[in-house]
Amino acid sequence: MVTGDGAYIKKINRSLLLQKIIEHGLISRADLSKITGLNKATISVQVANLLEEELIYETQHEHNSVGRKPIMLTLNSKAGYVLGIDFDYHHVQYTLSNLQGESVQSDTIKLENHDYDVIVQMLIKEIQKYNAQCSNSRYGLVNVVIGIHGTVNKDESILFVPKYQWHHKNLKADLQKELNINIAIENNANLSSYAERVFKYHNSDNLLNIILSSGIGAGIMIDGEIHKGYHGYAGEMGHMIISPDGKACKCGNNGCWERYASEPSLFEQLSKQLNMPDLNFDDLKTLIDEQDTVTCAYLKQYIEYLAIGLNNIINLYNPENLVINSDILRMYPNAIEEIKSNLKSSVSQYREITLSDLGSESCVMGACALAIQRFLEVPELILKIDEDGITKNDVKVLS
C-alpha cells in the first residue's frame, strides 16, 4: 500500500491517469475509474486539472450506434514537443515529435568535422532552431534527449566514444551553458531498447536489443527497467572477446565481437574480398539477390560469429525477447532461421528472436519516448505504431 502526504498521493494519481489516457488513446472518465480503482470524485478533480493544464482534452468518439456519443478524454499531443537526437559517427539524426510520439520533422546532418568544440556549437545551433519552431505551443520544446554511440555514466557524462576517441566529455553541461532547455544524455543502445519496449514489445519485461549498425551495442531491459550497471556502462557487448589474440579493436583489446559481427566490420572485410572499396548497402543487396558465391560464403561466416556472441548473451540474461537491429540481416533471406541454427546449446533459453522493425529510427524514437515520459512523469509509456507510423484515433474536439 502506498502511503504519503496528500500532495504525493495526488501526484501518483495524476501520473496513473495520464498513463492510462495515453495507453488507451481515447477513454471515458467512467472507464478510467474502473481501470485505476480511483473513485469518481478523484477522477473528476484530476481530469479538471489536466484539462486546465491543456495536457488533455475532451473529444467525441465517432461511432455508428444510436444514442448520445460518449465524451472521451485524450492526450493533447500538440501541447509540447520533444527532440530526439541520434549522435552517430558520420551523421547526426534529429527527430522532433509531439507528445504522442508522432514525428513532426526529421533531419539528418552529415558530419564533416569531428572536433568536440565544433560539434557542441553545431548542436547548440540546431537545438535553438527546433526550440524556436515550438515556441507557439503551450509548453514549447520540453525535453531534448541525445543518444551517444559510446559509454555514458549514470551522471550523464560521457566516458568514451570509440569512433571519435573522445574521453571524459560533459556534453550535457557544455550544451546547457547556452541552452535553457532540459537535456539528457543516454547511450544509443539503451534508447533503442526502450523504443522497442514502448512501441512494439509492450509486455516484454526482459528484453535485449542488439544493434549492429555502427559497432555492436546492447540495450538491456530487466523487469521492465533499463539495466545500466554500476556506473552506467552495461551493455557494451561489442567488446566481449570472442577470439583471443584476434583483430585489434579501438577499445584497446583484441578479438572483440564487433570486429567480427558488426555491420562496419562486414563491409570492411567483404569489400576487400570482392575488391570493391566503395561497397555500399545497395551493392550488397544486389550481391545477395544474385546469390554471389563470395558474398554468401562470407555472410554465412558472419552469422556464425554473430551467433557466438548471441549464445553468450542468452546464457547470461535468459531474455524473453531478443531483438536484433540490422539493415543487412533484413535483406538477407532467412536470417533469423540461420542464426537459430547456430544456437545449439541445450542450456540457451529465450522466448523469441526477431529483427527490429524500427531500424535506423530506433534511437531517436527511444529518445523521444524517454523525453515524453519524463515530461509527463508517467511510470510507464505505451505508444502504438502501424505500418504508416503512429496509430491515430478518430476524434472530434469539443469546443
pLDDT digit string (tens) for 152-199? 999 999 998 877 889 999 999 999 999 999 999 999 999 999 999 999
- The CA distances from residue 268 to 199, 245, 298, in Å, are 33, 19, 12
Does residue 326 lie in a domain region?
yes
Q: How many helices (H) and strands (E) does the chain have?
A: 13, 18
Query: Does 184 map to a domain?
Result: yes
**Would you say residue 397 has pLDDT above 70?**
no
Laid out side by side, the sheet with 158-161 consists of 151-152, 158-161, 166-169
Gap between the Cα atoms of 355 and 196, Å rounded: 11
- Last residue in a domain, options 76, 109, 131: 76
Answer yes or no: is 318 within a domain.
yes
Under 8 Å between Cβ of 185 and 171:
yes
Task: Please indicate, yes or no, whether residues 86 and 38 belong to a single structural domain of this protein.
Answer: no
pLDDT mean over 48-67: 82
141 and 104 within one domain: yes
pLDDT band at 389 (very low <50, low <70, confident <90, very high): very low
Note the pLDDT of residue 1: 45
Cell of 198: 514502448
The structural domain count of the chain equals: 3
307 & 219 share domain: yes
pLDDT on residue 251:
84
Q: Which domain holds residue 181?
A: 81-193+361-390
Q: Are residues 208 and 245 in the same domain?
A: yes
Lookup result for grid cell 530506433:
362
Domain presence at residue 1: no
Q: Are 346 and 368 part of one and the same domain?
A: no
Does the pLDDT at position 396 exceed 70? no
Q: How many CB atoms lie within 10 A of CB 347?
A: 8
Angle between helices 6-24 and 40-52 (to 10 degrees): 80
Flag whether pLDDT at 42 surpasses 70: yes
Give residue 65's pLDDT: 59
Strand 56-61 and strand 395-397: the pairing is antiparallel
pLDDT number for residue 391: 38
Q: Categorize the per-residue pLDDT at 62 as very low, low, confident or very high, splitting at 50, 70 and 90.
A: low
**Cα separation of 255 and 248, whole Å?**
6
Please give the pLDDT value at position 362.
95
More confident residue, 251 or 120: 120
- What's the whole-number average pLDDT of the chain? 90
pLDDT category, 399, cuts 50, 70, 90? very low
More confident residue, 75 or 69: 75
Which pLDDT belongs to residue 64? 56
Burial letters 207-219, b for 16+ CB under 10 A, else e:
bbbbbbbbbbbbb
pLDDT digits (tens, 9 = 90+) for 208-217: 999 998 889 9
Q: What's the pLDDT score for residue 69?
A: 72
- The overall longest dimension of the chain from CA atoms, in Å, is 75
Indicate the SS3 state at residue 167: strand
Q: Are residues 103 and 223 in the same domain?
A: no
Kindly report the CATH number assigned to the domain that includes residue 289: 3.30.420.40
Cell of 154: 549514470
- 145 and 253 in a single domain? The answer is no
In a domain? residue 138: yes
How far is residue 211's CA from residue 328's CA, in Å, rounded to a whole number? 11
pLDDT > 90? residue 385? no
Question: In this structure, what C-alpha cell is assigned to residue 21?
Answer: 489516457
Give the DSSP per-residue string, 65-94: SSSPPPEEEEE-TTS-EEEEEEE-SSEEEE
The pLDDT value recorded for residue 66 is 60
% of the chain beyond a pLDDT of 70: 93
197-202-207 Cα angle (round to 5): 45
3-state secondary structure of 151: strand
Quick: pLDDT tens for 222-231.
998 999 999 9
Last residue of a domain, one of 76, 104, 123: 76
Spatial separation of the C-alpha atoms in residues 128 and 134, rounded to whole Å: 10
Selected residue with higher pLDDT from 292 and 214: 292
Please give the angle made by the CA atoms of 117, 121 and 127, to the nearest 5 degrees.
Answer: 140
Q: Lowest mean pLDDT of 86-90, 175-179, 217-221, 375-379, name the range.
A: 86-90
What are the φ and ψ backbone dihedral angles of 89, each rounded to 5 degrees?
-70, -55
Does residue 216 sit in the same domain as residue 328? yes
**Cell, residue 234:** 552495461
Domain boundary residue, one of 27, 56, 76:
76
CATH for 31 = 1.10.10.10
* Same-domain status, 112 and 220: no
Q: How many angstroms separate the Cα of 80 from the Cα of each of 36, 206, 279, 359?
A: 26, 31, 42, 26
Residues 344 and 383 in one domain: no
Q: Answer yes or no: is 242 within a domain.
A: yes
Q: Are residues 246 and 343 in the same domain?
A: yes
Residue 309: inside a domain: yes
Domain-embedded: residue 215: yes
pLDDT over 70 at 300, yes or no: yes
165, 102: one domain: yes
